[in-house]
Amino acid sequence: MKSVRLSKLLPLACALLLGSFNAAANEPSRPECIAPSKPGGGFDLTCKLVQAGLKDHGLLEAPMRVTYMPGGIGAVAYNAIAANRRNEPGTLVAFSGASLLNLALGKYGRYDENAVQWLTTIGTDYGTLAVREDSPFKTLDDVIQALKKDPKSVAVGGGGSIGGQGWAKIALLAKAAGVDPRALRYAAFEGGAEHYMALMGGHVDLVTGSASEIRAQKGNKIRALVVYSEERLPGELASVPTAKEQGYDIQWPLIRGYYMGPEVKPEVVAWWRESFAKLQNSAEFQQYLQDRDVIPLSVSGQELKELVKKQVEDYRKLGEEFGLVAE
């Protein structure tokens, strides 16, 4: 039997121990995910996904907190991280396509898409339109006919002001139907679950939202009329037709992910990305996402930076098309 000298094993053991120590040293001691909205809704869901995933897979020693920083559909949180909380190793902020749209429209003040470090995406959600179960609107065409007859006859609620992604989802439909989007009766809400509460209270007739939000609101007797996806979604929303099926070729994918402060150290950012990679390689976590009507999507590093830049450019063109930004 061939023997191995202890002197040869010690350097290897030390190297392994040092690598383990360095990895542990980069793990943040007070992890936090900021949902830039009130509780409920897509940002909250995005934080809850990573909170549960990292805990269930043992990737964090300390439990992750979810905190809320509403204001401007992400503007308050974005400015806080870019200006004052630039080097917090444990702080992630949830973002979505709505965040990128507002960046494109200049609604985040002096900060653009280069002001933070884009960490990773976790999945893709899709836009929806929904009504109460007892609504007279049974199909997308019912809504369109009402809008054509009188755009003011349908009170539409959504997250964010005119020009935001909530408004854009009904504006695109109106435009496709030959209705002036500026004539729509749109009620703006900060986000979270406010527009769904307004729907259940009878204050609006229809809400714009996302597939994952519909699932979260299923106990409130809400019925989705359409999903803005390329094809029908799996799971509980499989019965909801796409806009294309109903005669309108409209798609609204909504990436969900996280960013960090611009001065967080590269080794800490690398730790987070490695942890997310482990999480997203888990079949159980992939199923966890799909059960919540989020289609898994993992993009990070330079690829994510380029994706963000492209989406901001595309949203800026859309804003110009609707007369929301100067060309």
Residues 130-180 have pLDDT tens digits of 999 999 999 999 999 999 999 999 999 998 888 888 999 999 999 999 999
Whole-model pTM? 0.85
- Percent of the chain residues topping a pLDDT of 70: 91
Joined tokens for residue 153:
């006859």
Number of domains composing the chain: 2
Residues with Cβ within 8 Å of residue 213, at least 6 apart in sequence: 41, 42, 45, 128, 193, 196
Cα(251)–Cα(231) distance, integer angstroms: 10
Task: Decide if 6 is inside a domain.
Answer: no
pLDDT at 7 over 70: no
Residue 144 sits in the same domain as residue 216: yes
Residue 190 sits in the same domain as residue 246: yes
Residue 184, domain CATH: 3.40.190.10
pLDDT tens per residue, range 188-234: 987 768 999 999 999 999 999 999 888 888 788 899 999 999 999 98
Residue 195 sits in the same domain as residue 236: yes
Tokens 């439990």, residue located: 63
pLDDT tens per residue, range 18-74: 444 444 567 888 999 999 998 988 899 999 999 999 999 999 999 999 999 999 889
Give DSSP secondary structure letters for 87-112. Answer: T-TTEEEEEEHHHHHHHHTTTTTT--
Task: Give me the mean pLDDT over the 4-26 stretch.
Answer: 50
Cα(99)–Cα(107) distance, integer angstroms: 9
Residue 156 sits in the same domain as residue 248: yes
Domain span holding position 294? 12-125+254-321
Cα(129)–Cα(226) distance, integer angstroms: 6
Residue 80 sits in the same domain as residue 102: yes
Residue 238 sits in the same domain as residue 93: no
Residue 22, domain CATH: 3.40.190.150
Mean pLDDT of the chain: 89
Residue 25: per-residue pLDDT: 65
Q: Which of 202, 228, 252 is the last residue of a domain?
A: 252
Residue 46 sits in the same domain as residue 93: yes
Tokens 């800026």, residue located: 316
pLDDT tens per residue, range 249-270: 999 999 999 999 999 999 999 9
Of 124, 208, 113, 121, nearest to 165 (Cα)? 208
Q: How confident is the model at residue 11 (pLDDT cuts 50, 70, 90)?
A: low
Residue 237 sits in the same domain as residue 260: no
Residue 16: per-residue pLDDT: 45
Residue 52 sits in the same domain as residue 80: yes
Residue 268: per-residue pLDDT: 97
Residue 222 sits in the same domain as residue 141: yes
Residue 247 sits in the same domain as residue 296: no
Residue 133 sits in the same domain as residue 235: yes
